[in-house]
């Protein structure tokens, strides 16, 4: 690894204050709430627990204190595969950074250690297992004795949680940092919002005295949309057509479905790749790297993919299967739109998903209490899917945040009609009761609609008094009724008998006509005009460029691509789309003017200013 140099600042350097560093090094104008407060607290030696949504700007909360405090900041991260990119991004900013993990050869690792001891590093990223090695802890103690440790940052702190799917056993042992280095401030960071995980982080990492900084978890640029599964592939295809040539993630529940969906999308001409834990490590690495480094790759993945992927221009996250909880859903969808520009979270779900997930929970060997918690979480997820009110209000409410209707989700944009579904529910309950509660949604709907299928004849269901009483509603409406009754907890699919629908006690008042049931009507098929129209090849973010500047923007992107390939780094490490767009709009004529653009600090100006100005000259 080449040893990075601190840049020689051109303008009057202001490197002694947090704001000065934000402006000079990072090229940003002002802090976002509550970055400044967090930085002050940590620079002053305090411990902090930072809960901020993805894209909220957590990194500068430890990167700036790393520069303001004497010594090296040690950043613990579970994301070995991403450390190189993280460090590259810092080197691009002119900071002195390196990483230590099992991927380094012995000579390089020795060199990094030497730099660390010589005080030549602002930041050092380490994997937890490396940090916990006796020899490394001894080395840190030597550094500490010489005041050489600026702070410990514990990234992805929710990895201590044994309940979550990102659990890393080594994280629990990180409490050792507090015991061995009581003078060194610790800052733990996560984008996981729920209170249970937060409490677990505090106790497991010994952060009882840390100040907690909880940001709003709203992601206003993400548009939420839920569709009832009908023909999932056709629905996905239609959705992807609205995001042609944009990068995105399609989540599936099983590895097999990931492989099949990726293959199918490729056959449809989409640049899709698969990612799941069953693939060998080299293939996973290669796919992840293509997703990060190239424009417009669609990653079809299980939830094994995504943590720490800080690609800012992921334009959509699609779920082809129902997630198990709103926490998981929010974390996964949060990977879209980290750059703050319009992005979309799309979910297709159907009754079969509910039956499957419910049966998983009931059939698992988990303790009763855990099953109960999982079941409550799934119900909250269903409530979100079947909601007739603002999706964002429901999401934020789940994380303890009050908000008003957002205007940027499907229910806000196209408010669903509601109708009195009491009679329909009674019909369905009656059909279920008269068939011994032994049949699933398909058969009950056939009975109500009076369909003469083989299975209906086989069981003599065409002779039931309920046969044909519900013919006024079509199939989609009935399926919507069933899903909502399940979401409301009035019907329960029995996993022991292939999803046979059983009435719960909560169904009784409706059956007896004592309560009225307001149901959401299935939305009409989306009209062509309601869809976002897409202009040029580069999709949504290109739409934000004035038509007159479009060519210049594309030329800047091409220049960035060349620089990224030459430097072996992802394009966004050089400049974000937003920065290129601002350049295209402002058309700066000098280095000084270029330096005013958001996202251009002294190092980037020195390194790429010439190339940018040349593209500008050619285009004027």
Least separation in angstroms between CB 569 and ligand ADP? 14
Q: Is 60 in the site for ligand ADP (CB under 6 A)?
A: yes
CB burial of residue 533 (10 Å; 0-12, 13-18, 19+): exposed
- Asked whether 40 and 29 are in contact (CB, 8 A), the reply is no
Based on CB atoms, which residue is closest to ligand ADP, 311 or 324?
A: 311
Cis ω for the linkage preceding 34 (within 30 of 0): yes
Q: Which option in Zn ion, ligand ADP, none does residue 49 bind, with CB closer than 5 to 8 A by kind?
A: none
Binding ligand ADP by CB under 6 A: which of 54, 190, 477, 484? 54
The helix (run of H) or strand (run of E) holding residue 226 is: strand 222-228
Least separation in angstroms between CB 56 and ligand ADP? 4
Least separation in angstroms between CB 422 and ligand ADP? 46
Identify the CA nearest to 499 among candidates 519, 482, 512.
482
Distance, CA of 199 to CA of 158 (rounded, Å): 10
Binding ligand ADP by CB under 6 A: which of 34, 56, 350, 609? 56
Q: Is 67 in the site for ligand ADP (CB under 6 A)?
A: no
Binding Zn ion by CB under 5 A: which of 317, 406, 503, 597? 406
Binders of ligand ADP among residues 303 to 322 (CB under 6 A) are: 310, 312
Number of residues that bind ligand ADP (CB under 6 A): 15
Q: Is 596 in the site for ligand ADP (CB under 6 A)?
A: no
Q: Is 214 in the site for Zn ion (CB under 5 A)?
A: no
Least separation in angstroms between CB 55 and ligand ADP? 5
Return the DSSP state at 416: P
Binders of ligand ADP among residues 14 to 53 (CB under 6 A) are: 28, 31-32, 35, 52
Least separation in angstroms between CB 30 and ligand ADP? 6
Q: Which option in ligand ADP, Zn ion, none does residue 390 bind, with CB closer than 5 to 8 A by kind?
A: Zn ion
Binders of Zn ion among residues 331 to 350 (CB under 5 A) are: none
Q: What Å distances lie between residue 100 and 83, 87, 174, 319, CA to CA?
A: 9, 11, 17, 35
Binders of Zn ion among residues 72 to 91 (CB under 5 A) are: none
Q: Is 358 in the site for Zn ion (CB under 5 A)?
A: no
CA-derived radius of gyration, the chain: 27
Q: What is the DSSP string of 66-104?
A: HHHSSSEEEEE-S-HHHHHHHHHHHHHTT--EEEESTTS
Q: Is 58 in the site for ligand ADP (CB under 6 A)?
A: yes
Q: Which residues contact 429 (CB under 8 A, 6 or more apart)?
A: 490, 491, 503, 507, 510, 511
Q: Is 59 in the site for ligand ADP (CB under 6 A)?
A: yes
Q: Which option in Zn ion, ligand ADP, none does residue 538 bind, with CB closer than 5 to 8 A by kind?
A: none
Q: Is 57 in the site for ligand ADP (CB under 6 A)?
A: yes
Q: Is 409 in the site for Zn ion (CB under 5 A)?
A: yes
Based on CB atoms, which residue is closest to ligand ADP, 27 or 328?
A: 27
Least separation in angstroms between CB 415 and Zn ion? 10
Q: What Å distances lie between residue 581 and 96, 531, 607, CA to CA?
A: 29, 24, 19
Based on CB atoms, which residue is closest to Zn ion, 402 or 617?
A: 402
What is the number of other CB atoms lying within 10 angstroms of the CB of residue 538? 20
Distance, CA of 206 to CA of 133 (rounded, Å): 20
Residue 153 DSSP SS3: strand
- Asked whether 68 and 21 are in contact (CB, 8 A), the reply is yes
Q: Is 197 in the site for ligand ADP (CB under 6 A)?
A: no
Residue with tokens 């069933």: 482
Identify the CA nearest to 248 among candidates 164, 338, 156, 382.
338
Inter-helix orientation angle 134-145/106-117, to 10°: 20
Residue 407 CB-half CA count within 13 A: 1
Binders of ligand ADP among residues 404 to 443 (CB under 6 A) are: none
Least separation in angstroms between CB 598 and ligand ADP? 6
Based on CB atoms, which residue is closest to Zn ion, 202 or 390?
A: 390
Task: Provide the binding-site residues for ligand ADP, judged by CB under 6 A.
Answer: 28, 31-32, 35, 52, 54-60, 310, 312, 338
Binding site for Zn ion (CB under 5 A): 390, 392, 406, 409, 412
């Amino acid at each position: 690894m080449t040893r990075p140099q601190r840049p020689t600042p051109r303008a009057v350097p202001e490197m002694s204050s947090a704001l000065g560093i934000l402006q000079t090094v990072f090229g940003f104008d002002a802090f976002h709430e509550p970055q400044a407060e967090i930085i002050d607290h940590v620079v002053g030696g305090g411990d902090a627990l930072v809960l901020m949504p993805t894209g909220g700007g957590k990194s500068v909360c430890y990167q700036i204190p790393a520069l303001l405090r004497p010594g090296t900041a040690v950043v613990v991260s579970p994301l070995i595969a991403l450390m190189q990119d993280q460090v590259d991004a810092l080197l691009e900013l002119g900071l002195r950074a390196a990483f230590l993990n099992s991927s380094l050869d012995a000579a390089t690792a020795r060199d990094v250690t030497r730099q660390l001891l010589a005080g030549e590093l602002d930041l050092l990223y380490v994997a937890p297992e490396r940090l916990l090695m006796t020899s490394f802890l001894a080395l840190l103690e030597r550094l500490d004795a010489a005041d050489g440790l600026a702070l410990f940052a514990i990234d992805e702190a929710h990895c201590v949680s044994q309940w979550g799917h990102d659990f890393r056993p080594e994280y629990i042992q990180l409490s050792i940092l507090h015991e061995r280095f009581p003078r060194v401030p610790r800052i733990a960071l996560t984008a996981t919002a729920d209170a249970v995980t937060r409490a677990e982080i505090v106790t497991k990492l010994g952060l009882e005295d840390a100040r907690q900084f909880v940001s709003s978890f709203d992601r206003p640029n993400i548009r939420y949309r839920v569709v009832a599964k009908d023909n999932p592939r056709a629905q996905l295809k239609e959705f992807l057509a609205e995001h042609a040539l944009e990068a995105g993630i399609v989540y599936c529940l099983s590895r097999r479905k990931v492989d099949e969906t990726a293959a199918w999308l490729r056959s449809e001409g989409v640049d899709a790749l698969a990612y799941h834990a069953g693939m060998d490590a080299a293939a996973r690495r290669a796919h992840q790297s293509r997703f990060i480094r190239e424009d417009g790759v669609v990653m079809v993945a299980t939830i094994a993919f995504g943590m720490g992927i800080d690609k800012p221009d992921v334009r959509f996250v699609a779920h082809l299967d129902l997630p198990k909880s709103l926490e998981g859903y929010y974390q996964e969808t949060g990977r879209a739109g980290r750059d703050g520009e319009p992005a979309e979270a799309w979910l297709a779900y159907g009754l079969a998903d509910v039956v499957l997930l419910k049966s998983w929970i009931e059939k698992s060997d988990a303790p009763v209490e855990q099953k109960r918690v999982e079941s409550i979480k799934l119900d909250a997820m269903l409530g979100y899917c079947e909601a007739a009110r603002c999706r964002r209000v429901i999401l934020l409410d789940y994380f303890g945040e009050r908000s008003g209707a957002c205007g940027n989700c499907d229910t806000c944009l196209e408010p669903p009609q509601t109708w009195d579904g009491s009679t329909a529910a009674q019909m369905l309950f009656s059909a279920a009761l008269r068939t011994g509660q032994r049949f699933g949604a398909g058969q009950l709907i056939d009975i109500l609609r009076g369909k003469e299928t083989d299975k209906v004849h086989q069981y003599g269901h065409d002779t039931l008094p309920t046969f044909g009483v519900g013919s006024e509603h079509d199939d989609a409406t009935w399926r919507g009724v069933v899903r909502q009754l399940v979401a409301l907890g009035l019907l329960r699919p029995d996993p022991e008998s292939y999803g046979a629908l059983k009435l719960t006690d909560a169904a009784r008042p409706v059956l007896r006509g004592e309560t009225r049931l307001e149901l959401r009507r299935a939305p009409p098929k989306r009209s062509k005009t309601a869809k976002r129209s897409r202009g040029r090849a580069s999709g949504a973010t290109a739409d934000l460029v004035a038509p007159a500047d479009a060519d210049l923007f594309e030329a800047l992107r091409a220049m960035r691509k060349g620089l990224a390939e030459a430097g072996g780094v992802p394009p966004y490490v050089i400049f974000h789309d937003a920065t290129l767009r601002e350049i295209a709009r402002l058309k700066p004529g000098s280095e000084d003017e270029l330096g005013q653009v958001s996202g251009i600090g002294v190092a980037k100006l020195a390194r790429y200013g010439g190339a940018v100005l040349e593209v500008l000259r050619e285009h004027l």
